[in-house]
Chain A
Amino acid sequence: MSRASQLPAPATAATISARGIVKSYGATPALREVSFRAEPGEIVAITGPSGSGKSTLLLCLAGILQPEAGEVWFAGRRIDDAGEEARSRMRRTVFGVLFQFGQLVAELTAAENVALPLLLSGARRREALAVARTGLDRVGVADLADVHPSQMSGGQAQRVAMARALVTRPDVLFADEPTGALDSLAGEQVLTELTRAARQGGTTVLLVTHEARVAAYADRELSLRDGVVDGPAHEVEYGPGR
C-alpha cells in the first residue's frame, strides 16, 4: 500500500483528497466521515460490499454530489463548496467520468459524443471532431466514429465512453463499475486500455468496483464498509493537497 504522506506533493500537483466526508440520502447515511487522498498518477480501487457508499464517495469527489460535511480538495483548492457551474466546468476539463453504462448521448454519433466536452468548452466543431477521432483511434474503435451508441455492443460503447472521459486529458478519471455490464474478456480489454492510457497520461484513476479482479488493476485499494473506511485506522492517511 503506497503511503500518501511519503510522497511530497507540490502545491500545483493534481492531488485529490477528501477529509471527513459525510453524506446521507434522507435518513439513510451513505458516508460517515470518510477521508481519502490520491496522488497524481495513482490508480486507486474503491471497493466494498453493495451499499457501502462507494458510488457516493466517487460522486462527492467528482463534485457531482455535495457532501453535508467535510471537504474535498483538488490541486490545492477546495472544490466541494464551489458552485454547480464551476463544478460542471471542472468535470469537462480536469476531470473525466466513466460509468457502467448510459453516459453516452443516444442521439449523437461516437465521434460527436467524444467531442462533446470540447464543444462545451467552446471548441470549434471541426477541431473538436478531429481530436475526438484521434481519441477513438487510441482506444481501438476508430471505425465506430459515425456509429450511434444504440448500434454498439456494450464493450464498444464503453470504449467510446472511455475515449470521451480521456479526451480532455483529465487529471483525474472517476470510474464507477466501468466494466460492470461487460463479460470478463471485454471488461479486461477496457481495463487494460484504461490503465495503460492513464499511466501514459499521468492521470489519477479512482476505480469503484466490487470485484477483486477489477481492483487488481489498481495500485492500491480503499475498502469501504457501511459508509466508513474499512480496516485499522492507522492505515488511512489523508490531508488536503496543498
Chain B
Amino acid sequence: MKHVVLGLLALGDRHGYDVKRQYEARFPAAKPLAAAQVYATLERLERDGLVAQGGVDRAGGPDRTSYTATPAGRAELHRWLSEVEPPLPYVGAALLTKVTLAVLVADDAAAAGYLRRQRAAHLDRMRELTRLKSDPASSLAWVLAADYALNHLDADLQWIDTAMIRTADLSKEMRP
C-alpha cells in the first residue's frame, strides 16, 4: 500500500483525493481504495520522512494539502521496485481450502459439483474479460488488467480441471 502511494506521488505531486483518483485510473479493474486508507498511509509516510507536504491548494472547495515524494521516498520506492516478489510462499487459496474440505467432509460428488459450478463461474468471468479486452475502445490499462486477470483465472481453471480428474484419487488418499 505504502509503495503504491509513493509510486503515484513519484509521478507528480498530488493531494490525498487525487491519489485515490489516480489509483483508480491506473488500476481500473482493482478494488477501489478507501479515502481514509489513503490519508492514513500519507500520514505514516510523512512520519517516516518519505513524503513531505507541499503547497496548499485552495481552488474551489476545502483546503487540500498536496504531498511530494522526498529523495528518501524515491530511494525507498526504487529499492522496493528492484525487490523480487517471493513466488507464492504460502499455498492456501480459498478455492483450494474449500475443495479439500469438500472432499473431506462431504463426498466426491459434492466436491465435483462444487468444482463444476466454480468452473462455470470462472469461465463466465473470463468471457466477460475477453469481451472487454477485444473491444477496440478499451484503454491499454484495461487490456493489461484483463490480461492479468485472465492469466490467473486460466491458472485457476487449469487447476480445477486437473482437480476434477484427481478428486477420486484425492479422496482415497485423504480418508484413512
Give chain A's interface residues, CB within 8 Å of chain B.
49, 192, 195-196, 211-213, 215-219, 221, 231
Contact = CB atoms under 8 A, between A and B. Distances in A.
B130 interface: yes
A234 B157 CA distance: 23
A195 B134 contact: yes
The 4 closest A-B pairs by CB, nearest first: A216-B126, A212-B157, A216-B130, A213-B154
A212 B158 contact: yes
Nearest to A188: B133
Given A213-B154, A215-B123, A49 B165 contact: yes
Given A212-B161, A221-B123, 15 more contacts: A49-B161, A192-B134, A196-B134, A211-B154, A212-B123, A212-B153, A212-B158, A213-B126, A213-B154, A215-B123, A216-B123, A216-B126, A216-B127, A216-B130, A231-B116
Chain B contact patch, size range: 10 to 19
Given A192-B134, A195-B134, A212 B165 contact: no
Contacts of B153: 212
B129 interface: yes
Contacts of A49: 161, 165
Interface string B138-171: 0000000000001101100110010001000000
B122 interface: yes
Interface of B: 116, 122-123, 126-127, 129-130, 134, 150-151, 153-154, 157-158, 161, 165
Contacts of A216: 123, 126-127, 129-130, 150
Chain B: interface secondary structure? helix
A216 B158 CA distance: 13
Contacts of A217: 127, 130, 134
8 contacts: A211-B154, A212-B122, A213-B126, A213-B151, A215-B123, A216-B126, A216-B127, A221-B123
A192 B138 CA distance: 14
A101 to B, nearest CB: 22
Of B116, B122, B134, most buried by chain A (CB within 10 Å of CB) is B134
A196 B116 CA distance: 29
B158 to A, nearest CB: 7
Nearest to A48: B161
B150 to A, nearest CB: 6
B77 to A, nearest CB: 30
Nearest to A231: B116
Contacts of B165: 49
